[in-house]
Amino acid sequence: MGDVEPISLRQIAKRDADQMAGGLAHGGGSGPPRSANAVTAFTRSELSAILAVYGRLMAEGECRDYAMDFGRETAVFSIFRRASEVPLYRVEKCPKLARKQGAYAVVMSTGLILKRGHELPRVLDVLTTKLRLVAR
């Protein structure tokens, strides 16, 4: 073969494992060390409240699909009108903002934050608009 040494599969697997860990195992990054699989997620009661609102929106015919995304810093529940479009609404949980503006937010597809707060049921009230009789 010449002067080129072949790369063994063990070297590739070790390199990929180190990249997936992101240097967390070696103390890389700032702040306290976190495990490689630490994610932010919704609790069962939070998910139950979100799915109740989603069920009402689906019964009204406003939406048809949803998606959930769990990352290190945020958990997102996206509500879609159709699966091929951008989400109509996003319910976001960001525990980092819990002491500031509130951990929960409802965001429209345009990026407009409809409501942000510390309590999820109060934040979700923005999605359950109630019709009122207006006297002329």
Q: Does 47 or 29 have the greater pLDDT score? A: 47
Amino acid identity for residue 116 in this structure: R
Is residue 94 very low, low, confident or very high in pLDDT (cuts 50, 70, 90)?
confident
pTM of the predicted protein model = 0.66
Write the CB contacts of 57 (distance below 8 Å, at least 6 apart in sequence).
63, 79, 127
Q: Does 114 or 130 have the greater pLDDT score? A: 114
Q: What is the pLDDT of residue 42?
A: 86
Q: What is the pLDDT of residue 18?
A: 58
Is residue 49 very low, low, confident or very high in pLDDT (cuts 50, 70, 90)?
very high
Say yes or no to pLDDT of 107 above 80.
yes
Mean pLDDT of the chain: 77
Q: How far is CA 78 from CA 5, 9, 28, 50, in A?
A: 49, 39, 32, 10
Which residues partner with 113 through β-bridges? 107
Decide: residue 85, CB within 10 A, 0-12 exposed, 13-18 middle, 19+ buried: exposed
